[in-house]
Structure 1
Amino acid sequence: MRAAVTSAPGRIAVETVADPDPGPGDAVLDVGAVGLCGTDLHMYLGERHDTGFPLRQGHELGGTVAALPRGYAGSLRLGQTVTVDPAIPCGRCRPCRRGRWPACRSFRALGVALPGGLADQVVVPVGQLHDADGLSAVEAALVEPFSIAAMALARAELVGDERVLVAGGGPIGLAVTVAAVAAGHAVLVCDPLPARRTLASELGADAVCAPAELADTVAEWTGGAGTDVAVEASGTRSALDAALAAVGAGGRLVVVGVAAHDLVVPVPRVLFDGVTIVGARAGLFPQALSVVAAHRGEVARFASVVYPLEDVAAAFTHAIERPDAVVKVMVAR
């Protein structure tokens, strides 16, 4: 079969590789579509030190079931459209045993430690598949970023008419926007790119602003109280600091953007203002599927451009060189 192989930093090409060899409990998918995310770009450029080359990338994927495990008695069927949870917890470590699987000490992920979806077919543990009948392959692939948004909002523990600041209007931030608006919350999106602010407004954001305007905008938007929840989805130091400063008394900061720098937290913010800081890792797929199925028009705006697998190198170049012009670059059959 064909598969895109990242052989060195900045070098990816379609090669002929062995057909899938599923083990016990594994399904085989015919891949329909894959989304490229920031993690993919960092891996492709050699900027992550926890991965080596060669790589078979692609963890945001949708497809159809080509084979099921021997003796499988579940509800999935051959030919069914599915989306894939790429994060596979070990099930054995202390966090997993306590039901806190997003903190698994031995996560394996498709497209990182395991061969990913930039191929004709991919092997996936059957328990990682979720029914996506009724969705297109592209929509099924986009469920994964929406699952991260669903986890972020679950960690935020929103109630009533609480307001949400989204710092970073990339794919995850915009997915948080769609999901939060769908749940009835007013959303402010902060992003340096005018095109992303415009799209956020079109997706239902109550207000948008550039980073330099954030403090004043939050003060006006909340009547000086600060936002109830801030979701930091950019991974930049400045956005993280600004998001924390924007949270009002009793509010929550949810960290989604992957970053290596420290977060400096004034103790009075936690002790006297009662600000809670949590991370959101991995996804909640049932909730994400509900949002995607109910808001297909908004979700369609995420797939900015679609490349065929044979043009995967051009897809990566497009995603890297035109971040101002795309939300999500997709690779589809």
Structure 2
Amino acid sequence: MDGQRVTVLGDGRLGNLCAQVLRHHGCHVHVIGKHPTKLNLLRELGINCSLLADLSPDRSSDIVVDCTGSPTGLTTALQLVRPCGTIVLKTTVAATQTLHMAPFVIDEITLLGSRCGPFTDALQLLANGAITVAPLLSASYPLEDAEIAFTHAARKDTLKVLLHIR
């Protein structure tokens, strides 16, 4: 993976963590998302980012990782991946999707589903500080404020809310 151009679609928790892991493995990572606040967290980690609204498809990515959870994620990925490139689906979409499959054949694009990898590797990356998770924490509440915590968690700019049980 070293040196490959990878675009991560989605600026949520999953996109953030995928971007950090890919960068750790030597990829040139670019994250595309909808939320300036979340993208700024990635920029502070030195990861290139842009808003989806500013997207100009150039089909130059070796790999596109879809972390959007959106029915349009795969279509967007097809606009970014180079011929003979790979699209990785790291998310599921509840809605039924209709997709024109010809580009996968014509451009020899690989479509790969990926749920999760070895936890041992992930824990090692956390232990040695290669992955930064503190910025993912948007807020922390005591259990008695659970209703407030859930309201906070539902906001678009929120990544992760913790409840403390004492």
TM > 0.5: yes
Larger Rg: 1
In structure 1, list runs of 5 or more residues that go unmatched: 1-158, 220-224
Q: Report the counterpart of residue 262 of structure 1 in structure 2.
A: 97
Q: CA deviation at 1:263?
A: 4.6
Q: 2:46 aligns with which of 188, 204, 229?
A: 204
Alpha carbons of structure 1 residues 304 and 181: separation in structure 2 relative to 1, 3 Å? same
Aligned partners of 1:181 and 1:204 also within 8 Å: no
Partner Cα separation in structure 2 for residue 242 and residue 210 of structure 1? 13
- How is 1:1-333 mapped onto 2 (pairs within 5 angstroms)? 159-205=1-47, 207-216=48-57, 219=58, 226-259=60-93, 260-267=95-102, 269-295=103-129, 298-320=132-154, 322-324=155-157, 326-333=158-165
Contact 1:256 1:280 in 2 (8 A): yes
TM-score normalised according to structure 1 size:
0.46
- The whole-number CA distance in structure 2 between the counterparts of 1:199 and 1:165 is 17
CA-based RMSD: 1.9
**1:208 shift after superposition:** 1.3
- Change beyond 3 A, Cα 1:323–1:296: farther
Unmatched segments (≥5 aa) in structure 2: none
C-alpha distance in structure 2 between counterparts of 1:189 and 1:297, whole Å: 16
Amino acid at match of 1:247: V
SS at 1:298 equivalent: coil
Q: 1:88-137 CA deviation, whole Å, 9 max, x = no partner?
A: xxxxxxxxxxxxxxxxxxxxxxxxxxxxxxxxxxxxxxxxxxxxxxxxxx
Structure 1 pair 304–297 and aligned structure 2 pair: CA distance change class (3 A): farther
Letter in 1 for 2:156: P
Tell me by how many angstroms 1:296 deviates.
6.8
What is the deviation of 1:311? Answer: 2.0
The 3 A distance-change label for structure 1 pair 183 and 297 is closer
In the TM superposition, structure 1's runs of 4+ consecutive aligned residues that sit over 6 Å from their partners are none
**Amino acid corresponding to residue 287 of structure 1 in structure 2:** D
Give the aligned residue type for 1:277. L
Q: Is the 8 A contact 1:240 1:263 kept in 2?
A: no
SS at match of 2:55: helix
Tell me the SS of whatever aligns to 1:253: strand
Q: How many residues align?
A: 164
